[in-house]
């Protein structure tokens, strides 16, 4: 399945049905009078966040969405039916933007969340509505109101708890495969990963979180080099970043600086996000070389460096548990904020 994380679509709500002009003409009925019914309301356009989707590929070939027009009113006071709504189902984490691609309309970050994009037009009144002492036989009715229309952008930011960052070929896909049941493409050349991958990490029945692997960053990514920073939006919502540095390269300090510079240049608070720094591919290094590379990376970053190998699995569980602890802290803080500052006890089975 192809991955698509942004697209432009056109949405239009339905017009309201027109009211009817009709008069009651039945045998043995001396005074018939007007009996034109009202038109039905036009259909609305809704957007809904649903589980089970992780791409906007459905909008690649279907870009125009229109709700149905309301049925016109009829004689004998028969009102028209309302037009059917158009419901756009998108992955959780989809942002809806105005045509300028900057103004945020709504962030669909909760499963089941619905938002009204365009309201359908009201149905017109039939001539029965206009009868009165001064006008007992009105010959006019209201037309239905026009629906609304707009062009919008959909931009997907995957919902993940932990994100993987690093240069191309830093071993992120291998780490993802070792940490979860995901099966990303793995090869010994740069830019093997061309689209984000998600994996579910199960440390125990009560310790589960989602980890995201994005294509590697290179120097100048913030200016469009390589695949640019297009996919960094998918790790904006994460609680922590696991920054993997390839221990087999010559200058691990420069590799760390390159990625850090691109994260900070991207903005959106990525540069301030909690980072777990890890020296990867230690299975291919001697003990002396491991220590040399670790010291060089610690001096450059000023942070603790973990040792990990996605191939042998060494250090993978430890770094995942550290990341999960940070994820729990963030969720607890969010729950505390939702309760208005009240203390929230940890749930226990």
Burial pattern 21-39, b for ≥16 Cβ within 10 A else e, equals bbeeeeeeeeeeebbbbbb
pLDDT given at position 227? 61
Q: Would you call 298 exposed, middle or buried from its count of C-beta atoms within 10 A (0-12, 13-18, 19+)?
A: middle
At the top level of CATH, the class of 162-338 is alpha beta
pLDDT given at position 189? 61
Question: Homologous superfamily of 1-156 in CATH?
Answer: GTP1/OBG domain (2.70.210.12)
> Hey, where are the domains in the chain?
1-156, 162-338
Question: 1-156 and 162-338: same fold?
Answer: no
Rounded Cα gap, residues 267 and 217, in angstroms = 15
Q: What is the DSSP string of 176-216?
A: HHHHSS------SSTT---S-EEEEEEEETTEEEEEEE-PP
pLDDT given at position 224? 65
pLDDT given at position 344? 46
Q: How, if at all, do strands 207-213 and 240-246 pair?
A: unpaired
Adjacency order of strands within the sheet including 207-213: 197-204, 207-213, 162-165, 240-246, 275-280, 305-307
pLDDT given at position 46? 97
Task: For the chain, list residues with pLDDT below 50.
Answer: 1, 344, 346-349
Angle 198-162-305 from CA coordinates, rounded to 5°:
125
pLDDT given at position 127? 95
Rounded Cα gap, residues 283 and 316, in angstroms = 12
How is residue 304 written in tokens? 């603790």
pLDDT given at position 349? 41
Quote the distance between the C-alpha of residue 50 and its chain's center: 10
pLDDT given at position 223? 67
Place of tokens 């009113």: 73
Is the CB of residue 268 less than 8 Å from the CB of residue 95?
no
């Amino acid at each position: 399945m192809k991955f698509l994380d942004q697209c432009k679509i056109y949405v239009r709500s339905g017009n309201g049905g027109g009211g009817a002009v009709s008069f009651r003409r039945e045998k043995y009925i001396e005074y018939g009078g007007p009996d034109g019914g009202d038109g039905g309301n036009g259909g609305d356009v809704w957007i809904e966040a649903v589980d089970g989707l992780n791409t906007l590929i459905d909008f690649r070939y279907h870009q125009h969405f229109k709700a149905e027009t309301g049925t016109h009113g009829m004689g004998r006071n028969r009102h028209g039916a309302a037009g059917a709504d158009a419901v756009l189902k998108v992955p959780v984490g989809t942002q809806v933007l105005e045509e300028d691609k900057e103004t945020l309309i709504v962030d669909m970050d909760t499963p089941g969340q619905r938002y009204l994009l365009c309201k359908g037009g009201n149905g017109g009144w039939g001539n029965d509505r206009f009868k009165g002492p001064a006008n007992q036989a009105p010959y006019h009715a209201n037309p239905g109101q026009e629906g609304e229309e707009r062009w919008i952008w959909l931009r997907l930011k995957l919902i993940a708890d932990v994100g993987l960052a690093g240069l191309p070929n830093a071993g992120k896909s291998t780490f993802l495969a070792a940490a979860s049941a995901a099966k990303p493409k793995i090869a010994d050349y740069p830019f093997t990963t061309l689209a984000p991958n998600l994996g579910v990490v199960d440390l125990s029945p009560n310790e589960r979180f989602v980890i995201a692997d994005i294509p590697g960053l290179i120097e100048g990514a913030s200016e469009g080099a390589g695949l640019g920073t297009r996919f960094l939006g998918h790790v904006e919502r994460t609680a922590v970043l696991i920054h993997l540095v390839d221990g087999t390269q010559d200058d691990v300090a420069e590799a760390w600086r390159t990625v850090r510079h691109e994260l900070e240049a991207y903005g959106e608070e990525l540069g301030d996000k909690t980072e777990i720094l890890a020296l990867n591919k230690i299975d291919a290094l001697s003990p002396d070389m491991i220590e040399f590379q670790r010291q060089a990376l610690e001096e450059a970053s000023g942070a603790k460096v973990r040792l990990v190998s996605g191939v042998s699995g060494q250090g993978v569980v430890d770094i995942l548990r550290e990341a999960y602890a940070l994820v729990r802290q963030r969720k607890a803080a969010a729950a505390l904020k939702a309760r208005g500052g009240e203390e929230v006890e940890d749930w226990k089975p």
